[in-house]
Amino acid sequence: MRHGSEMNFEGRVAVVTGAGAGLGRAHAMALAERGVKVVVNDMGSPGGESTGRSAAARVAAEIRAAGGEAFAHLCDVTDAEAVEEMTGETLARWGRVDILINNAGVLRDKSFAKIGLDHVRQVVDVHLMGSIHCTKAVWPHMVEQGYGRVLMTTSASGLYGNFGQSNYGAAKSGLVGLMNVLAIEGERKGIRVNALAPTAATRMTEGLIDERILGLLTPESIAPGALFLVSEDAPTKTILAAGAGVFAVAQMRESAGVYLPEGDRSPETVAERWAEISDMSTPVVTASAFDQTKRYAAMADTETGAVP
């Protein structure tokens, strides 16, 4: 059953990375069903074998068979030059890029005590640097056309932590920071930037999720949230958690804060007043780092009569 007016994606062009299977495929198919022209990007499976070409080609073929427009482009998102070439091919074919969904990813799970730095670098390179490469490639074109929608794929591991995923959690948390900054920089240019925190049964989570609930955690149950976040009326600087048909907004908040006079700024006083300092009954959502600075300065000014 449909509710309200149907979202209009007419004439839009999207690049979806890691779209040969799982979440990326679900996003690509859902966009194509709404008339979006889709670049299906993929490189390979989490194991590293080169299955991405046939997987991406199959998804693109599915889209075309259903009457949509799509082409597959095989490139590694950690290769900035190759990503630029993908963007160039997209512009040559369709003249614009309206939507970028940064979905490509890998897992290399191991406890922090045992993990090798090579696996840390690999995961950070794919998730964080790969998203930076792709966003950097399309950004000037979105600025020029005065319209753009960028979706980062973060994770509950980056928001809340998860045992054995220090590399993955760090990369996914980094994507939230990237989203926060780009949402501010893109606001006046017609570019909205959001993050999706999905939990789904995909090729990256095989063997990690109880078989009994795999049927609920489908990539297709998440795609509607992704489409909303790249729609014309999308919010910006928003984290949407999604899984099994459940959608929730996650926020970074802080307590109202407590001003300590200069003569009373000791670790002992922080400990004594910790209940007040950590009181989240009236949380504050901060628009930017500078807004936080201004708020702290205003609190100090109120207490002292002069900003320190």
168 has catalytic annotation: yes
- C-beta separation of 33 from 20 below 8 A: no
How do strand 239-243 and strand 246-250 relate by DSSP bridges? antiparallel
Among residues 160, 168, 259, 296, the one annotated as catalytic is 168
Q: What are the backbone dihedrals phi and psi of residue 191, each rounded to the nearest 5 degrees, phi first?
A: -110, 125
Q: How far apart are CA 276 and CA 253, in angstroms?
A: 16
Q: Please report, as a single letter, which amino acid is at residue 94.
A: W
- C-beta separation of 176 from 169 below 8 A: no
The CA-based dihedral angle spanning residues 52, 56, 62, 68, taken in that order and rounded to the nearest 10 degrees: 180
The CA-based dihedral angle spanning residues 205, 209, 215, 217, taken in that order and rounded to the nearest 10 degrees: -60
Q: What is each CA distance from 241 to 48, 104, 153, 160, 304, in whole angstroms? A: 28, 17, 10, 12, 42
**Residue 270: helix, strand or coil by DSSP?**
helix
The two tokens of residue 52 are 């991405």
Residues classed as catalytic: 168
